[in-house]
Amino acid sequence: MNFSEINDLFLIREVSVCFLSGRYLCKKGYEMKNSCIVLEGGGLRGAFTSGVLEYFLEEELNFDRVIGVSAGACIGASYLSKQKGRNRKVNVEYPSDKRYMGFRHLITTGSYFNMKFVFGELPTTLVPFDEKAFFKNPAEFDVITTSLESGESVVFAKREIANIGIDRVLIASSSIPLLSQAVNINGQLFFDGGVADSIPVKYALSKHEKVVVVLTRPRGYRKKELRNSLPFKFAFRKHPEFLATLLKRNSEYNKTLDFCDQMEKEGKLFIITPSPEFSIGRTEQDLEKRVNFYNHGYSLIQKEFSNLNQFLNSNAVLNDSVR
């Protein structure tokens, strides 16, 4: 046995120890080609996602790319800044504050969620967001938005976010039609990324062979047809492309879920989804329900972590530079 073969044996042993320990550690000399995670939005249903990512932070599980939509993007930002406990405070505890959301904010500011509070006072003063740590993190961060002009999804990458401002991009991705105003970025108007691409798994799979997906609806959920489209037709009558995207959103969402199920069967997706009994609303007022949903996310992934490790490590390959 020559030196090269001995070296390979040590490297293989290192991966085995890493896998059996139940921790996903990207050791020097290995490329985890599938380390991408997609975070669905859903307003305060993001409490579930917050619990999942809190456990990831404790286990020091890192991904090469984080793709977030609406609330998922906001939660993903705090995950990349590695601020333990921040998502719980912002997405579980603070929504009980009257400054956070409500119809009075919709009337006075044009947004049900008080953007100046959620993206202003909260991250700058009350629960500071470590922007320096966020940008220092080498992971890619893609935020999904929807163009008011074209009705198509627009991805803002980390390098663009650095120039525009992370608060601006996150607000755009979180601006729900009828419940928020469109956000101007470089002369173009944007709405919630969930309008055009609620679960951007196809985009993720174009970047990585395997993808982890965190959904905020239970397995088997499918959106029903829109009951009343008149408010949307009136509000966006001057934006036919955007309106068309809005009106077909439910059917496209269901097609995406069908695609996710198929990709999961083929071993390309690892789907993390809440149990039906823990489901909560987009603007859930009940603190106890939000806390329970958060705890459910944490405990669920804790139980599934070994399976997640198996999924991720199955694609670990030796780097050519150390063979």
What one-letter code names the amino acid at 323? Answer: R
Element spanning 191, H or E: strand 188-192
**Annotated active-site positions, please?**
70, 192
Reduced to 3 states (helix: H, G, I; strand: E, B; else coil), residue 196 is: helix
Going by the DSSP 8-state scheme, the letter that residue 139 receives in this structure is S
Strands 140-147 and 65-69: parallel
Do 144 and 190 contact (CB within 8 A), yes or no?
no
Calculate helix-pair angle for 3-20, 287-313, nearest 10 degrees.
160
* Overall residue count recorded for the chain in this entry: 323
Angle subtended at Cα 176 by Cα 97 and Cα 165, rounded to the nearest 5 degrees: 80
Nearest one of 31, 22, 36 to 210, comparing CA atoms: 36
Is the C-alpha dihedral spanning 287, 48, 42, 131 positive or negative? positive
